[in-house]
């Protein structure tokens, strides 16, 4: 889940509420720090400061009642972080949620985050709460070791789509994406997709489960017969 807090007070109150719910419904709340040795004192009982590798180990190792995870993005990274790197981090957290079915909340607070960046961030989350930017018409979902593309990708969604794709390629250079629930993608977006893959030498992309609309867009893009590191299959 992506949470955009409108103020520091909203963030602080929301953390307390999340910790209380995690204590009741799960095995407590883990709050991710940026690096070893940077841990701040826990805000209240039920909150435990950990690094991302420690959070992954604790969640995967929980026999019952896995803890929930809060990722305060301002503490883990910075608003100036390249968009692709931020999306790669988001997808790592999404993989953890998908593999363990525990709650992972990525929190954005402060006014330094660019709206275009938050558009791309929202595209890799199944749910967005709080002050939300414009929502793209598609989702790139981590499903625990693989990815699924859903919704519609029109002209206005192309910047968010290419940013999300770039982040996925950073994390998984030989990328396979299921698109059985992709309803529509414009030929312009297909061309942008190919160009994004080509900017990362050695990367490949396979779209699997493509329906008629996706195959039509692929044909109209002009790349259908080209020798490219991108393939579209039924």
CATH number of domain containing 200: 3.30.750.24
How far apart are the C-alpha atoms of 4 and 24, rounded to whole Å?
Answer: 23
DSSP for residue 144: S
Same domain, 114 and 13: yes
Same domain, 115 and 158: no
Question: Residue 134 has what pLDDT?
Answer: 65
pLDDT digits 0-9 by tens, 136-148: 889 999 988 789 9
Same domain, 108 and 207: no
In sequence order, the β-bridge partners of residue 32 are: 50
DSSP for residue 154: -
Same domain, 10 and 114: yes
Same domain, 15 and 126: yes
Mean pLDDT of 210-226: 83
Same domain, 203 and 173: yes
Same domain, 13 and 30: yes
pLDDT at 133 over 90: no
Cβ–Cβ under 8 Å, residues 42 and 28? no
Same domain, 9 and 89: yes
DSSP for residue 110: S
Closest CA to 210 of 149, 143, 121: 149
Domain limits for position 53: 2-130
Count of the separate structural domains present in the chain: 2
Same domain, 46 and 73: yes
Same domain, 85 and 190: no
How far apart are the C-alpha atoms of 74 and 79, rounded to whole Å?
Answer: 7
Q: What is the pLDDT confidence band of residue 43, given thresholds at 50, 70 and 90?
A: low
pLDDT digits 0-9 by tens, 82-99: 999 999 999 999 999 988
Token pair belonging to 126: 């199944």
CATH number of domain containing 107: 3.40.50
Q: What is the pLDDT confidence band of residue 39, given thresholds at 50, 70 and 90?
A: very low
- The answer, as to whether pTM is greater than 0.85, is yes
pLDDT at 38 over 50: no
DSSP for residue 125: -
Mean pLDDT of 55-72: 90
Q: End of a domain among 95, 130, 165?
A: 130
DSSP for residue 55: H
Same domain, 193 and 90: no
Q: End of a domain among 93, 108, 130?
A: 130
> In angstroms, how far is the first alpha carbon of the chain from the final one?
30
Question: Residue 70 has what pLDDT?
Answer: 95
pLDDT at 225 over 70: no
Same domain, 124 and 13: yes
């Amino acid at each position: 889940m992506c949470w955009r807090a409108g103020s520091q007070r909203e963030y602080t109150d929301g953390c307390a509420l999340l910790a209380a719910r995690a204590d009741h419904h799960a095995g407590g709340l883990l709050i991710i720090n940026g690096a070893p040795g940077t841990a701040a004192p826990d805000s209240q009982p039920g909150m435990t400061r950990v690094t991302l590798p420690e959070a992954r180990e604790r969640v995967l190792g929980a026999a019952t009642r896995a803890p929930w995870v809060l990722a305060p993005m301002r503490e883990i990274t910075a608003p100036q972080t390249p968009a692709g790197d931020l999306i790669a981090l988001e997808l790592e957290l999404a993989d953890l949620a998908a593999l363990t079915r525990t709650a992972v909340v990525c929190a954005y607070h402060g006014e330094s985050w660019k709206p275009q960046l938050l558009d791309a961030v929202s595209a890799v989350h199944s749910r967005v709460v709080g002050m939300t930017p414009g929502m793209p018409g598609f989702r790139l979902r981590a499903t625990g070791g693989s990815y699924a593309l859903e919704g519609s990708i029109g002209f206005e969604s192309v910047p968010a789509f290419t940013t999300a794709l770039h982040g996925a390629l950073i994390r998984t250079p030989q990328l396979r994406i299921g698109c059985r629930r992709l309803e529509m993608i414009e030929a312009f977006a297909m061309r942008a997709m190919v160009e994004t893959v080509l900017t990362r030498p050695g990367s490949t992309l396979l779209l699997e489960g493509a329906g008629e609309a996706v195959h039509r867009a692929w044909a109209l893009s002009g790349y259908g017969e080209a020798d490219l590191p991108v393939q579209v299959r039924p």
